[in-house]
Amino acid sequence: MRTTSPSLDDLRHYSLTHSAVEHAFLRSAKAGQVQPLDMAHVMRAYAAYSSKFPSLITALFDHAMPRAVRSLIEEVLEEERADHAGVSHADLLSRTADSFRIDYDLELLTAMRVETTCYASSVGATVRLGLGHALGALGPATEWIVPTIYTNFVEWWARAAPIVARDEFFAFHVDADELHAELFERAIALCIATDAVGLADVQDGCATTLIARAKLWNGLEVLCRAL
């Protein structure tokens, strides 16, 4: 059973109601209004971020932290590095995109990869600021919200995807990241309880990363219109 302080509950509410989670692009995806050609490009480009995510978690270990917190983060990292049926998470997402059997617009795909790479770089910069900022960036602004975000894509798949395409990534991660969210929540609570970090730093890391993710959706949405 999850137990949290009111402050962490407030942070969870802030994260889940942020424009990065309630973005128009995600609402369109949930309603099945994003075209398969657009979505294939988005997923192929998003794989560039997915491939970098384990290194973002690894960067947490550059900061001093209580041993119990380190164990929780190591558990998340082990999950993120694990293959799914022998395929890495990033390759799984690329394979999901490729299952549409479309010809990619390489100029557009490159532009989308720039967006996702810039987002990953922004998260990395926040992670390097300190443990509190890092936990805020990767916990409340990532693992806590990803199940909700990816559910939009699962619902899009049910409405819009052709039979030839298979979702091997999003449905799997909705469940897996619920566990990651809980592990990060426990890590943050432990750090605050032991004065290893201040809540203000966690909030700042969370807010900065959510703004960057909203900008990512903005960029991808605009590029989809270019198709």
Range from 4-8, 12-16, 72-76, 124-128 carrying the lowest mean pLDDT: 4-8
Q: What percent of the chain has pLDDT over 90?
A: 67
- Architecture of the 6-224 domain: Up-down Bundle (1.20)
Indicate the domain borders of the chain.
Answer: 6-224
pLDDT of residue 102: 83
pLDDT over threshold 70, residue 85: no
pLDDT in tens, 159-218: 876 655 667 788 888 888 888 999 999 999 999 999 999 999 999 999 999 999 999 999
pLDDT over threshold 80, residue 114: yes
Q: How much is the pTM?
A: 0.91
Handedness of CA 97, 102, 106, 107 (dihedral sign): negative
Range from 61-65, 94-98, 141-145, 190-194 carrying the lowest mean pLDDT: 94-98
